[in-house]
Structures are given as structure tokens and as C-alpha cells.
Chain A
């Protein structure tokens, strides 16, 4: 049994410690936000935050999350109380299929927590681990910068 904090609540899973964290999140823990793309740290679809730092859930052994704080896109916000990033992504219509967005959103959240005023180059660098095959990159960059500005001004990222 591995116990950790998931999106602010206590969570425990009965899975071998060597199983990837992603299998626990999408399996017994019932989340759908963290997504499987490659299983090899090459696409970022599975990205989650462990102790506020981006981590590839597809390879991180479940055991490595024991006792730590894990956050996923579901933990950023929901339709009732969206994170400024989620609001900004909707305002910029930053996405097409959206399969890449869960991972990109958590990496962007970690960036803005560490650097509230990134320039475009800093956003690109923070998102470099992420692939988007639909070509939504420019909208995503704009959305992250928009959310950063909104958060600095204490707004929610709405237009």
C-alpha cells in the first residue's frame, strides 16, 4: 500500500511500488486528466506535479510518490472554480484535440508558481518536454502569458 497526498486529499493505493504512478492515477484512483502518450518521458502527456515540480507519471514508480504531494490537472481547478490557466486556455481557445493539455497545464502551473512574470522564451523552455501534434503551440504560449498577467493582477484570467 502506497499513501500520498493527491490534489490536497489523502490517497492510498494497493499496487506494487514499482508500477508507474500513472497506472495508479488512471487505475484505482479513477483520474482521467494525466494521459498516456509514450511511456518513455518523451511527450509530456502524463505530466503531474510531485512536490510542485513536473514529473513524468508514466515512468515515476508509485513508490517514489509515497508521502509526497501529487497534483494533477484536476487539482488545478474545475468548471466551478477554474485555475487562471484553465480560464486563459479557454479564452485563447488554446487546443484542438486537447490530449496534450493536461500535462501542459500542470507544467505551466509549476512555471508560474516559480516565475510569475515569464517571457515567451521562458514559457517555451518550460513546455519543451511537451509535444502537441495538433499545432496549438502559439495559442498555448499566448494563454500561459495571459494567465501570468492575470495572476499578477490578481484576476482569474478571463477576458
Chain B
């Protein structure tokens, strides 16, 4: 998904001294930061703002190590070819990969600058302190500053491996809840999103999407288009261009009515989704296997868990601006990975990567591999018809919900049992579904949507699952964190891909954590144990036990009272097995439908660079998960996705949002871990458990609608 993916798939294995995070593969200091004579420093992370607040955390890290006021730190938007190549902003890894690189780079930059000042003034380097960028000698005399030395090529070198960032106890900026740098623009309605980009001479474009998957454009009827609109066609890719946006919009509608397509059935029967997941052609594998099957089990739980396809459902439709200048292309995009996007644009357009400049601009909240990359290709294809003119292409709401990559439907079947002493003895689990990554820049063929619609089309490679060492996809969080002597986790990755699937917040953890926690509750009941006590008995990881105890204490788990029609449940996971620990207690009210009323969450993310930012991400993840648990499902017939509006793909609204309380276990000495995805699996699990507590049934299919609960 990111650097971790690169390393896990064989990249980065070299003899060079190990440098932290992305610095290892982007070793020049000057690529990461630059000082300016007027008293400012620009940092240039390769990770991008997705609404998660990463820019603020990164600026805090830089301000801390450099000892400059936060207000002096500017963050340059990522762009090829100058930004460090940090692959993809995903997997809750930005602080680990980018933050730790910047921390080291800034510590190194500081040491280099101080040694120059020391040499020039004869003041020993240990006697110099830095105060908001000014270098002061033992008597408080000025001996230099970053700003005075800014013009010199001091950072034009490789990062030394021996830079020494500050110890945790000395930090004053990192670890505080600095207000977000991007939020003022957003409460004042400033032009900060790629959607707001207005370049001189800019045209507007819209795509006329095929009516169904696999549809082929046969003909476009003759006829006038509104205003100055003109059409662009390449195979089954059809778009319109106009000077004014409303004209492009009207032209697209007119053209759609005039286009003739050849359509066919390509999608599985939705009502038989579980059968398709069990029987579709697949590559079979083993995720983890240990121990011997015990000869006898005292108690056993068998259950199957089905989750539907899910949409990203970002608040804004995807958008991009593209401009051709001769044989060179410039693209403004909210992609999560500007270099990977460049790779696939290069393959699709048969243009060398050096001819393509990709510039990041913020989009609306991004929760994974959505339409951002696809729309960049759409814009490039449309703009090819208007050389020299910037072209802004905006997707429709229907495209955003139905044509962006989807998170794959999955079936998880578990059989687990206890020995006579009531201890977990055996755990077998089978996961079936499409892969969770179709990210650009990784496969032989480009994975951008329109690449398969061109007159010379590219085949669509089926989604893969990244290796477990990089966090995995379908197998993410498939290995329970509970002690169990015999374990076997199998994985069927389906190799036909009727609906394009890729990464959405949490990936396989959404269903795996729910399945594991539900089975744990079932086993606890068979053992006559409380769910909390039963889990603690099987945990060897003290940080997991701690978040679980905390969440339960916050919720008053031990003394909880049973009230008619309400229930409480808990869920626990360590995200990816290597990330943040998170425990959730959910309270629900079972009315006409289930409503989540309260969530109590305890999380351990190691060092929190910005505790309020972490809490914001955890809360947001928990509400996202509540929406997934109670409402969301992509629906389809044999040809098309039918959930293409907010009516047919509803998400949680204000009236349905639970109160959320978050506690972070303070761990300033521990390495930082990402927070954005940690709460999702445990929240779904906790809601499912609370439904059982209220109604006595364990839901077996997401979302937990009255119909799904009735069928359980």
C-alpha cells in the first residue's frame, strides 16, 4: 500500500545504512526540507493530506526537531518529480514512514547547521542552543540561524545515519494538540480543494459512463450539442468538453441519451452472493497454520459471516484537472500516490513518465483507493482534445458511488472450539473474496478505470492481496490475537473480478475482526464466562489487555444494567497485528431498526504526535464503522451497480450518530502508530455483540438491518 508494501515485496533490500521510514529510499536531505532567508522552513513530505490531518502532525515533528515555531513551518504540496517518492498515503502508516523520516531529516539538518555555526564562531556545538530558529551561544549571544545560513547548499547531501532526534521527554511541540493547519481554510470556504482549482482558459469536462459493466459503445447518434460543447471519444470512453460547467453537464446528459451500447450480463446473482464467493475460480492459500488439531473439543462454534461490497462514498465526487502541452502532460489530482498514478498514466497514454507532472491537491475525505486516480486519467483523455487548455473533469455522484473501486464482498467461515477446561483449543477460518488492492503503479497493466474502455483496451488485472508483512488485504487481522494452540487460516482469492475491488479503510479487518470477536463471544457463553474475562484469559499482549480494560471501565461494563431493548457489546483488535490497539464498547437501542447510542473507545497508538488529531481520527473511524455496520451495502443486478445515489446508498446521518468517548493510553516513549483505521473492526464487532445482548441473536450478515437480524 505504501513503503511497507514495497519492502515486503522485495524493495529496499540493500546494503546502505538503514535510515528511518521513507528516508531510506529518499536519502537526500534537501528533498525533505529547505530553509528560507525570510525566516521560514518548507517541508516537503511525499505523503498527502486526505482529511486525516497528517500535514499538521508532520509540521509539528519538524518544528520540534528544528526548534522553530510551528507557524514558521510551511508544507509544500507533493508533486513529481521533486517530492520524495513515498508511494501511497495509506495503511495508517504516514507517521511511521513519513513522520519518522522527517524527524530524522530535521535532526540531521539541525546538527549540520549547528556545526557550521560552531565552526565559524568557535563556540562549541554543545554550548549552542536553538530558539525559534536562532542559534544562541552560552551568554545568549547570536551565533547564527537557519535563516542566515539558508542559501548555502548545506542540505545538498545524503542524510547521515547517526542523526539523533530529541528524547521523548524533551519534546514540547510533538505530543501536543496543535490546531490543524488546514482547518481555517475549510471553515472560511477557501479554494483549497482540487475542485476549486481555476486556471486561465480552463474548460470543463464530464464523462458519459457506460450504462453497465462490460458495455461497449456502438454508436453515438448525430445531433447538436448545447453551446460550445464537443465530444471526445476513444473506444467506449466518451466525454464532453465545454467552456462552462453547466454546459458540459447538459451536453453529457444529451449525449448519454444518444449513445447506443452493447450490454451483457457480467455480474453474479446478488441473492446468491455467498455461493459465488464459495465457488468462483480462486487461488487458494494458507495465511497462517500452527499446532495440531486437538483430538476432542468440549465446545465448538461454527459460523459464517457475510459482508457486502462497500463504497467509499466520499462527500465530493472525484475530480482532476489536466493540461497537455505538446507531448507533456500536467495533472492536478487528489490521488493517494502521485508517483504510482504517474506510472499508470504513462502506461495508458504511452507517454514516458518524465513527460508527466503530477501535482497533489486536496480532495474531500479519502478512505482508501477511490476514484481519484481514475478521474485523473479521464481528465487527461478529455484534455488531449484541447491542447494547451487546462481541463477540469468532475465525476457525477452516480459514478462516485457505482464506478469507483469497491471494497470486496467477503465470506468468512469459522470453526473454533474449547477444551474441557474452557480454554481456546482450535481455530479454523476460511476467507473468500476478491483481493483488496487494484492500486495503480503495481501491476503490469494499468488499473485506471478508463484504460479498459479505450479503443485499444487494457485488460483489468484482478485485485491482489498485499502480503501479510505489509498488512495484508483480505487476510488483514485474520489471525486472532488470542492464545490458541491450533490454528489454520485459509484464503480464497477470487481471480475473476466482476466488480472492480480495491482498498477501503480497514480492508479485511472489517469482517475478520467482527467474525473473530463474534465467535469469541459465542465461545465465552459456552464456557459460562463474561466476554471481558474470557478475552483477558486468552491475551498474552499486555497493551491489548489494557485497552480492553480501559474501554470496559469507561463504559461501566462490570456493573452494566440490562434494560429492555438495549444492549452492550465489546470488540478488540490490534490493527494489522502490528499497528494500534483499540477496544470499543458499544451500546445500542433495538427499535424499528438498530440504533447505536454510545461508543466508548480506548486506543493505544504509541506516541501520539497530535493527541486531539488522533482522537478525531478514531472518532471518525468509529462513526464510519457504525455506518457500515447498520446501513451500507452496494447493490447490483446482473449488469450494473444499482446503488448510485444517497437514497440507495444511505450513510449515517446526524440523527443516527452515537455519542463517542475516546481515551488514548499515553505512550510517549513508544514508536507512533497510525490511528485512522484502528477503530473500524472493533466498532463493527462491538455493535454486533450489543445486538446479541439486546435481542439474543448474533447477526451473520452486514449491514445489521432488521432483515439481516431476522435471518440470523
Which A residues form the contact surface with B (CB < 8 A)?
15, 19-20, 23, 26-27, 30-40, 42-43, 45, 72-74, 77-79, 82, 86, 89-90, 93, 95-102, 105, 124-125, 127-128, 130-139, 141
Contact = CB atoms under 8 A, between A and B. Distances in A.
A23 B244 CA distance: 9
Contact of B612 (A93, A128, A137): A93
Given A90-B179, A124-B657, 5 more contacts: A90-B187, A97-B186, A99-B365, A102-B186, A102-B189
B315 A96 contact: no
Contact of A35 (B50, B177, B195, B613): B195
Interface in B646-681: 646-647, 651, 653-655, 657, 659-660
3 shortest interchain CB distances as A-B pairs: A33-B189, A98-B186, A97-B51
A130 B655 CA distance: 10
A95 B187 contact: yes
Contacts, number: 165
A86 B245 CA distance: 30
A135 B315 contact: no
Interface stretch (B139-147, B163-171, B616-624): B616-624
B179 A93 contact: yes
Contacts of A141: 654
Nearest to A31: B189
A125 B198 CA distance: 35
Contacts of A135: 619-624, 657
Interface string B353-375: 00000000011111100000000
A60 to B, nearest CB: 13
A72 B191 CA distance: 14
A97 B50 contact: yes
B183 interface: yes
B43 to A, nearest CB: 21
Nearest to A137: B657
11 contacts: A33-B188, A33-B189, A42-B645, A42-B646, A74-B189, A95-B180, A95-B183, A96-B365, A98-B183, A124-B655, A133-B364
A134 B51 contact: yes
A63 to B, nearest CB: 13
B51 A74 contact: no
Which among B317, B612, B613, B657 has the highest number of chain A CB atoms within 10 Å?
B657
A40 B246 contact: no
Contact of A20 (B188, B198, B246): B246
A19 B246 CA distance: 7
B183 A90 contact: yes
Nearest to B50: A97
B246 A96 contact: no
A131 B646 contact: yes
B612 A40 contact: no
Given A96-B52, A128-B654, A131-B315, A37 B397 contact: yes
B450 interface: no
A100 B189 CA distance: 10
Contacts of A128: 653-655
Contacts of B548: none
A94 B36 CA distance: 33
A36 B365 contact: no
B415 interface: no
A48 to B, nearest CB: 11
A93 to B, nearest CB: 6
Contacts of A89: 183, 187
Interface string B590-617: 0000000000000000000000110011
B622 A105 contact: no
Given A19-B246, A36-B195, A130 B188 contact: no
A27 B244 contact: yes
B655 A36 contact: no
A131 B651 contact: yes
Given A93-B180, A96-B52, A128-B654, A40 B646 contact: yes
B316 interface: yes
B184 interface: yes
B565 to A, nearest CB: 20
Interface in B168-218: 177, 179-180, 182-193, 195-196, 198
Interface string B509-542: 0000000000000000000000000000000000
B32 to A, nearest CB: 25
* Residue of A43, A82, A96, A132 with most partner-chain B CB within 10 A: A96
Interface string B48-59: 001111000000
Contacts of A99: 51, 186, 193, 315-316, 363-365
